[in-house]
Amino acid sequence: MTQVPLDAAVTLPGEDFSRVALTAEAVQLLRKLWLQHGPLMFHQSGGCCDGSAPMCYPAGEFLTGDSDVLLGRFDIADGPEAQPLEFWMSREQFNYWSHTHLTVDVVPGRGSGFSVEAPEGKRFLIRSTLMDWPV
């Protein structure tokens, strides 16, 4: 049975649709990683090699700024210290991907040395689909 992806809360001004989602497998791995590392965040750059994969960091470890866009927030953790997991993308990369909906998935393999899933024998990846509504 295929589970419905978890859509992020909308964060871009003037939009009423989610731009990013997590598969059930991604949520399961993120909850495990959250217990090990505390609150988490994603950043998707436009670089080559590891830079083309979504990188998962402890929240605040990767500094974002005006050159980044907050695409969504996920509520995946419970408890009094729970905070949303944010998904950021470089503004330059967003210019290329603005017409797509992104889904973060998990596959077997070695993640980047900087991304917290690396020791798990799994890696996050992006699956994209063209949006069928005007942007």
pTM of the model: 0.89
For residue 114, what pLDDT is reported? 83
59 located within any domain = yes
Query: How high is the pLDDT of residue 109?
Result: 87
Tell me the average pLDDT across 100-110.
Answer: 93
Residues 6+ apart with CB under 8 A from 105: 23, 25, 26, 124, 125, 126, 127
Give residue 123's domain range: 6-130
Which amino acid makes up residue 7? Answer: D
- Is 19 part of a structural domain of the chain? yes
Q: Residue 32 above 50 pLDDT?
A: yes
Count the domains in the chain: 1
Taking phi over 0 as left and psi of -120 to 50 as alpha, with beta for the rest, 109 belongs to left
Cβ atoms of 89 and 10 within 8 Å: the answer is no
User: What contacts 49, CB < 8 A, 6 or more positions away?
Assistant: none
* Pairing label, strands 55-58, 20-22: unpaired
Residue 47 is assigned to a structural domain of this protein: yes
Query: Mean pLDDT, to the nearest integer, of 34-46?
Result: 91
Q: Is position 51 within any domain? A: yes
* pLDDT band for position 117 (cuts 50, 70, 90): very high
What would the pLDDT profile of 8-19 be if each residue is shown by its tens digit? Answer: 999 999 999 999
Q: What is the CATH number of the domain that holds 96?
A: 2.60.300
In a domain, 135, yes or no: no
What mean pLDDT do residues 2-7 have? 79
Q: What is the pLDDT of residue 77?
A: 79
Q: What is the pLDDT of residue 1?
A: 42
Q: Which residue has the tokens 């990188």?
A: 55
pLDDT for position 123: 93
Residue 1 in any domain: the answer is no
Go through the chain and tell me how many residues it has: 135
